[in-house]
Amino acid sequence: MRKVLLLAWLPMGIAVLGAWIDEQRALGVTNWRSACRASGISVQSVAAFTLELLPTAVIGALLGGLLVLAAGLRDTRPRARNALAAHMGCLAAMPLGLLLCASALPWPLTLLTELALTAMAAFVVWWFMHIRKPTYSNATERGVPRISNASTATENFSVTHPWNAHDCN
């Protein structure tokens, strides 16, 4: 689970580094927050001002996403599941995080909230993929037996009343 969280936070961390570079270069974050608040916080204004005033942060987020993809392309299925959970965490939390950053909340609180949202979304996706694993063919390695087929099920459970096709009418 720790790997999932680190992968989920990677794009945001590189985006924050890019936002810091934009701030040092041209007061990108300060101007971005002011412009978003002045125009009214909406998805359209946040998206437009983000692309115009925080280009290095956008490049950082995309680079982080590519690094997560590279981690998912490595040889095993668990790594791919971790990368998928991380991507879904970012997908769910990043738009909300942008709206939070444009709000009047202090930026450390918005970053912590964004970290928490990303972690929760990534954990939920990871958990749903993790609980489905016992139904796969290699589930015996986790100690969970597969559901037996119908022929062995009739051996284990005796049928006392035969099925009648007229019972369903």
Nearest to 33, CA basis, from 107, 94, 92, 95: 107
Instruction: State how far the Cα of 136 lies from the Cα of 125, in Å rounded to an integer.
Output: 17
Instruction: State how far the Cα of 15 lies from the Cα of 27, in Å rounded to an integer.
Output: 15
Whole-prediction pTM? 0.68
pLDDT single digits (tens) 134-154: 455 555 555 555 555 555 555
Q: Is the pLDDT of residue 18 over 90?
A: yes
Domain residue ranges of the chain, discontinuous segments joined by +: 2-143
pLDDT single digits (tens) 72-96: 887 677 888 888 888 888 888 888 8
